[in-house]
Amino acid sequence: MRERNKLSERQRNILRFIETYGDQKGFPPTIREIGNATGINSTSVVNYNLNKLVTAGYLERTGRSSRGIRLIKPMNPRRSLSVAAAMNTPRVPLVGQIVASEPVPIPDDAGHHISEEDLLEVSPNMLRGVDPAEVYALRVKGDSMVDAMVRNGDIVLLRKQATAKEGDMVAVWLDERGETTLKYFHPEGARVRLQPAHPTMQAIYVDAAHCHIQGRVLSVMRVNV
């Protein structure tokens, strides 16, 4: 208790917010989010207090990520330390966009050049237990999957795989057209039905031999509110 009393009220507020945010989101907040939540207008002041919490043994930090904060000593010692484990935020490559409407061509080199800025921080629970090395992200363009809660501008996380089950939402490459699309997958003998989730859009039917699965959707990140 004496250790905790050494913290300023501002530092205790920061710790409480990091705990609550981590519980709700599964990953740590940014410096700006901490400032907004605790009434601190200056990011340098937030940074100063975070460093004080590191020195006091409450946090660990890494400079490689905007969310590079790991909670190692919760304010409430009865709280589960699983929050700390969740703070090890996985990152997956955002390799481009996929069209969730009519298929359109994509460049031959799409996704081949991944920079540090293209690595997307995601909540561990969005990976559904899949190794982050097997996951990539695409930004959605179009609204044919709107009834599946996938909207224009959202980001989908996909597991890299070449097969899918009936009804899976997948990214597929149509080699005869040189096109890609995001749809529900329904194999029907020698052909595949690619079904949109939109009340006014029709299914796309393609030869199964020319429909190549690129990945199965694990989860959706809502970008546009």
Residues carrying an active site annotation: 144, 183
- Cα–Cα distance for residue pair 65/30, rounded to 1 Å: 9
Q: Would you say 208 and 190 are in contact if contact means Cβ atoms under 8 Å apart?
A: yes
Distances (CA, A) of 15 to 22, 36, 110, 164: 11, 14, 41, 43
Q: How many CB atoms lie within 10 A of CB 199?
A: 7
- Cα–Cα distance for residue pair 109/201, rounded to 1 Å: 30
Q: Judging by beta carbons within 10 Å of its beta carbon (0-12, 13-18, 19+), is residue 192 exposed, middle or buried?
A: buried
Distances (CA, A) of 72 to 17, 30, 35: 14, 17, 20
- Residue in the block written with tokens 């004080």: 52
Q: Judging by beta carbons within 10 Å of its beta carbon (0-12, 13-18, 19+), is residue 144 exposed, middle or buried?
A: buried
